[in-house]
Amino acid sequence: MSDRELLEGAEKAYLNAYAPYSHFRVGAALLCESGEVYTDCNVENSSYGVSCCAERTALYKAVSEGERKFTAIAIACDGDEYPYPCGICRQALSEFGTDLRVIVGSGGEMKTFTLEELLPSGFSLMSGEQ
């Protein structure tokens, strides 16, 4: 699966976003070592703090299906800016390793980072096996 294909999955996913408050639709596509791809979107709530970002809904979907090893995540939105993952999502993803490649797309362009670059010296209680 190419980065471009993964990003296309994220672009499709944001079409299902439930974002009646921010009107900011985000989609994420998470590629697992197994080869499976889990896509998801942001889901907002009247009680704003209950809302969940696209990256975490995709991550939790994958983890709840038994996935633990992730290769890359692509993120897309319907805005003009690159949709960098928020701090909470960076921390959530880092639980499963910081080698993860993070692809952000906007207007047909892509930028790629490692999670380590986006969350240097992140917090972890995990010292060994995951």
Residues that bind ligand THU (CB under 6 A): 19, 22, 24, 26, 42, 44, 51, 53-55, 85-86, 89
Residue 85 CA to residue 122 CA, distance in Å, equals: 14
Helices (H) and strands (E) in the chain, counts: 4, 5
Q: Give the other-Cβ count within 10 Å of 74's Cβ.
A: 31
The active-site residue, picked from 5, 36, 55, 95, is 55
In whole angstroms, the minimum distance from the beta carbon of 5 to ligand THU comes to: 21
Residue 19 or 72: which CB sits closer to ligand THU? 19
Round to whole Å and give the CA distance between 18 and 121.
33
Q: Is 55 a catalytic residue?
A: yes
Which is nearer to ligand THU, 85 or 105 (by Cβ)? Answer: 85
Q: Which residues are known to be catalytic?
A: 55
